[in-house]
Structure 1
Amino acid sequence: MALLAAFTLPAGATWWSPGDGTPFPAQYDDADPDGVTRLLLDGGPMETKGHPFFEPKGKYGRACVTCHQPSDGMSLSAETARIRWQETEGNDPLFAAIDGANCPDLAQGERASHSLLLDHGLFRIARPWPPVDHDGQKIEPDFTLEVVRDPTGCNASKVWGLSSPNPQVSVFRRPRPVANFKYILAMGFAVDPKVGKPLPIDPETGQMVSGNLMADRRVLSLEAQMRDAAHSHLGFDALTPDDIKRIRDFEDRIFVARQRDRVGGDLDSMGARGGPETLAKSEPGRLGSQGMAVWSEFAAWEKIPADADITPEQRAWRESVARGARVFREKMFLITDSAGINSPVGFGNPVRNSCVFCHNMSQMGMDVAPGQVDLGTTTMPFADPQPHLPLFRLTCKGPAHPHYGRVIHTHDPGYALTTGRCEDVGKITLQTLRGLTGRAPYFASGSAPDLRAVIDYYDRRYNIGYTEQEKRDLVNLMGAL
Structure 2
Amino acid sequence: MSSEVRIGPCGQALVFIPMPAMDSLQFSITDVVDPYNCTSNPATGLTSPTTGIVSEYRRPQPLANLPFLTSIMWDGREPSLASQASDAVLIHAQSAAPPVADQIDQIIQFESALFAAQTYDNAAGDLTADGAQGGSVALSAIPFVSNINPPGPSFNPSTMTMFFNWNNSPDANKASIARGQNIFNEKSFAITGVAGLNDVTGKSSIPGTCSACHNTPQVGNHSSSEFLDLGIATAPAAMAGGTSLSLADLPVFTVHCESGPFAGTDRQVTDLRRALITGQCADIGKVKTALLRNLAARPPYFHNGSAPDLATVVAFYDDRFQIGLTDQEKADLVAFLATL
CA separation in 2, counterparts of 1:464 and 1:229? 41
Amino acid at match of 1:173: R
Counterpart mapping for 1:421-432 below 5 A:
421-432=280-291
Aligned twin of 1:38: none
Aligned twin of 1:127: 17
Task: Give 2:162's match in structure 1, choosing from 289, 297, 302.
Answer: 297
The structural deviation recorded for 1:139 is 4.0
CA separation in 2, counterparts of 1:472 and 1:329? 16
Q: Is the 8 A contact 1:386 1:447 kept in 2?
A: yes
Counterpart mapping for 1:188-337 below 5 A:
210=70, 212-236=71-95, 237-284=97-144, 286-287=148-149, 288=154, 290-292=156-158, 294-304=159-169, 315-337=171-193
The structural deviation recorded for 1:282 is 1.4
The structural deviation recorded for 1:257 is 0.3
SS in 2 for 1:343: helix
| 2:1 aligned with 1:99 | no
Q: Is the 8 A contact 1:324 1:470 kept in 2?
A: yes
CA 1:162 to 1:331, structure 2 compared with 1: closer, same or farther past 3 Å?
same
The structural deviation recorded for 1:228 is 2.3
CA separation in 2, counterparts of 1:401 and 1:471? 37
TM-score of the superposed pair, with normalisation by structure 2: 0.89
CA 1:388 to 1:400, structure 2 compared with 1: closer, same or farther past 3 Å?
farther
Amino acid at match of 1:181: L
| CA offsets 1:193-227 (integer angstroms, 9 cap, x no match) | xxxxxxxxxxxxxxxxx3x1111111110111112
| Largest Rg, 1 or 2 | 1
Q: Is the 8 A contact 1:290 1:361 kept in 2?
A: no
Indicate the structure whose relative CO is greater, using CA pairs within 8 Å and at least 6 residues apart: 2
Indicate the percent of aligned positions where both proteins have the same amino acid: 34
Amino acid at match of 1:338: V
| 2:211 aligned with 1:356 | yes
Amino acid at match of 1:388: D
The structural deviation recorded for 1:351 is 1.0
CA 1:442 to 1:139, structure 2 compared with 1: closer, same or farther past 3 Å?
farther
SS in 1 for 2:15: strand
Aligned twin of 1:455: 314
CA 1:408 to 1:261, structure 2 compared with 1: closer, same or farther past 3 Å?
same
TM-score of the superposed pair, with normalisation by structure 1: 0.64
| CA offsets 1:291-323 (integer angstroms, 9 cap, x no match) | 12x22111100033x5xxxxxxxx111101100
Q: Is the 8 A contact 1:147 1:155 kept in 2?
A: no
Aligned twin of 2:247: 386
CA 1:468 to 1:341, structure 2 compared with 1: closer, same or farther past 3 Å?
same
SS in 2 for 1:167: strand
| CA offsets 1:136-179 (integer angstroms, 9 cap, x no match) | xx643111112330011011223211118x81111110111111
Amino acid at match of 1:317: N
- The answer for unaligned runs of 5 or more in structure 1 is 1-63, 69-74, 76-97, 107-112, 115-122, 133-137, 185-209, 307-314
- RMSD over equivalenced CA pairs, Å: 2.2
Q: Is the 8 A contact 1:146 1:393 kept in 2?
A: yes
Aligned structure 1 segments of 4 or more residues deviating by more than 6 angstroms: none
The structural deviation recorded for 1:401 is 4.5
Aligned twin of 1:398: 259
Q: Is the 8 A contact 2:314 2:333 kept in 1?
A: yes
Aligned twin of 2:200: 344
The structural deviation recorded for 1:385 is 4.9
CA separation in 2, counterparts of 1:359 and 1:424? 20
The structural deviation recorded for 1:289 is 5.8
CA 1:428 to 1:147, structure 2 compared with 1: closer, same or farther past 3 Å?
same
Amino acid at match of 1:127: I
The structural deviation recorded for 1:399 is 4.9
| CA offsets 1:407-462 (integer angstroms, 9 cap, x no match) | 10000011101110101110001110011111111100110111111111111111
Aligned twin of 1:172: 57
Amino acid at match of 1:274: G
